[in-house]
Copies of this chain bind each other. A is one copy, B any other.
Amino acid sequence: MNGKTLEELAQHVGGRLAGDHKIKISSVASLNLAGPGQITFLANSRYAKKLAMTKASAVVVAEPVKNAVAQIIVPNPYYAFTQIVVLLHGHRRHKLSGVSAKAAIDSTATIGKETHVHDFVTVSERASIGRRCVIYPGVFIGPDVEIGDDCVIYPNVAIYNGTSIGNRVIIQANATIGEDGFGFATEKGVHHKIPHVRRVILEDDVEIGSNSAVERGSLVDTIVGRGTKVGDLVAIGHGVQTGPGCLIVAQAGIAGSTTLGRYCVLAGQVGISGHLKIGDQVTIAAQSGVASNIASGEKVFGSPAFEMRKALRAYQLIKSLPEFRSELMRLEERLTALEAAPAKSKPAR
**Which chain A residues have a beta carbon within 8 Å of chain B's beta carbons?**
27-30, 33, 40, 76, 78-79, 81-83, 85-86, 89-92, 95, 100, 102, 104, 118-120, 122, 124-125, 136-138, 140, 143, 154-156, 158, 160-161, 170, 172-176, 179-180, 182, 184-187, 189-195, 197, 205, 207, 209-213, 215, 218-220, 227, 229, 231-233, 235, 237, 245, 247, 249-251, 253, 255, 263, 268-269, 271, 273, 286-287, 289, 291, 302-304, 306, 310-311, 313-322, 324-325, 327-328, 331-332, 334-335, 338-339, 341-343, 345-349
Contact = CB atoms under 8 A, between A and B. Distances in A.
A192 to B, nearest CB: 5
A75 to B, nearest CB: 9
Contact of A154 (B83, B179, B205): B179
Contacts of A313: 322
Contacts of A207: 193
Protomer copies: 3
A314 B174 CA distance: 40
12 contacts: A86-B195, A91-B195, A118-B122, A122-B155, A174-B213, A176-B210, A191-B245, A193-B207, A211-B213, A233-B235, A317-B324, A334-B349
A255 B232 CA distance: 11
A283 B349 CA distance: 42
B78 A185 contact: yes
Given A174-B176, A311-B319, A321-B317, A30 B233 contact: no
A229 B184 contact: yes
Contacts of A341: 342
B172 A176 contact: yes
Contacts of A346: 347
Nearest to A330: B332
B140 A140 contact: no
Nearest to A329: B327
Contacts of A86: 194-195
